[in-house]
Amino acid sequence: MTIGIIGGGASGMAAALAAAEGREPQVVLLERQARVGRKLQATGNGRCNLTNLHAGQGGYQGEDPDFCRYALEAFGPEAALEWFRGLGLYTVAEDSGRVYPYSDQAGSVVDVLRFALEQPNITLRLGTEVEKIKKTGEGFLVSAAGETFCFDKLIVACGGLAGTKLGGSMSGYKLLRSLGHRCTRLRPALVQVKTDWPGISALKGVRANCRAQILRDGEIFSQSQGELQFTEFGLSGPVMFEISRDVCQGGGNWSCHLDFLPELAEETVKAELFRRKTTALPAGELFTGILHNRLGRVLTQAAGAALGGPIAALSGETLSRAAALSKGFEVPLTEPLGMDAAQVTAGGILTSEFDETTMESRLVPGLYACGEVLDIDGACGGYNLQWAWSSGRLAGLSAGREDV
């Protein structure tokens, strides 16, 4: 039996290794880029957050998030880590549950997978972009780079549109649509959100732990707590990533209400700022020791204070306003950044057209799909790669079984 796999990314490599465990199948992995795991190499800021110990069905979205339950239960984070350990990868888990390679290098993850693929029954074809798939009575004819491949079974593991510079493309969606599958609306997720607030550039690079409320026309749309990062154009970091797939959709005025001191009552902050009135410090140091210096200065100015003069000269009203702003600073939001900057694609090929216990198409027998091309997107923190390992392995094992 020959099994073709389109895409040598996270899910495709997991699928190839699982398929090769079956009874003597010949596995051919087709990758359009010059090497496998190009996106994987860039994940987690080059560290690769390869899974999350808490990755369960609750951390995923899509039209039917329940679709991923079977694959995650069959091959969850613990199983994935054991599998990686077997491939020679040492890992370390943070308190948050995020798991990284012990080397802190994403390249280590790519390397152990790359070396594991070196098996007699796995053929790797790099620089081979699949353009067309034809279903025949016996299997599939796959056209790529002027060649035609013939497979009994086929796994589409082309990934999503996110991270276009790292290989994200429409290819997988187009190939699956050509075989009759439907695709939901695609949009960027786990991405920073832009603002037209002119003060943003002064805060570029500042990180803050905060509670964030996303408001749509003044009504609370969602809220979360964690790290926020200011960028040149907007707001980033886990707090924004979580809501980025849904923010600024469907009209309305969107803004973010930020509490930079969620653990402190406003009265406590106010009392501390009033105490500083008795010091000789300049107004620019009003929040020194409490908040990031640059953030403190932006809040002080927003409260109406000139930074040059002493804190002692600030009115009680200005100090109260500064305290209030540290507990509730509103930043308008315009739109999420595009697919280029996104870590994952929200939306994808309809999961209702696949069997969640095998990842096989309900429309085309012998066809499988896995990873980001399907309409499943995970939370920030290792959830998306876990989905790639779980779904890829399930697709590979199912395709590798003679009786499927």
Ligand X SMILES: Cc1cc2nc3c(=O)[nH]c(=O)nc-3n(C[C@H](O)[C@H](O)[C@H](O)COP(=O)(O)OP(=O)(O)OC[C@H]3O[C@@H](n4cnc5c(N)ncnc54)[C@H](O)[C@@H]3O)c2cc1C
Question: What is the contact surface with ligand X in residues (CB under 6 A)?
Answer: 6-12, 30-33, 38-40, 42-44, 48-49, 129-130, 157-159, 162-163, 166-167, 169, 171-172, 343-344, 371-373, 382-385, 388
The least distance separating ligand X from the CB of residue 109, rounded to whole angstroms, comes to: 10
Cβ 377 to ligand X shortest distance, Å: 8
Q: How far is the CB of 111 from ligand X (least distance, A)?
A: 15
Kindly state the smallest distance separating residue 60's Cβ from ligand X, in Å.
11
140-144 vs 130-135, strand pairing mode: antiparallel
CB-nearer residue toward ligand X: 20 or 325: 20
CB of residue 392 vs ligand X: minimum separation in angstroms?
A: 7
Beta carbons within 8 Å of 261's beta carbon, 6+ residues apart = 269, 290, 291, 326, 327
Q: What is the 3 state secondary structure string of 18-82?
A: HHCCCCCCEEEEECCCCCCCHHHHHHHHHCCCCEECCCCHHHEECCCHHHHHHHHHHCCHHHHHH
> Please, which residue, 234 or 371, has the CB nearer to ligand X?
371
Q: Closest CB to ligand X among 64 and 272?
A: 64
CA 396 – CA 120 distance, rounded (Å): 17
CB 385, min distance to ligand X, A: 3
* 95 versus 403: smaller Cβ distance to ligand X: 95
Residue nearest ligand X, CB atom distance: 9
Tally Cβ neighbours within 10 Å of residue 70: 18
Q: Which is nearer to ligand X, 10 or 240 (CB)?
A: 10
Q: Which two tokens stand for residue 263?
A: 């653990």
Q: Output 230 or 383, the one with its CB closest to ligand X.
A: 383
- Beta carbons of 14 and 393 less than 8 angstroms apart: yes
* Shortest Å, Cβ 12 to ligand X: 5
Read out DSSP for 91-149? EEE-TTSEEEETT--HHHHHHHHHHHT--TTEEEETT--EEEEEE-SSSEEEEETTEEE
Residue 183 or 388: the one with the smaller Cβ distance to ligand X is 388
Alpha carbon distance 365, 355 (integer Å): 11
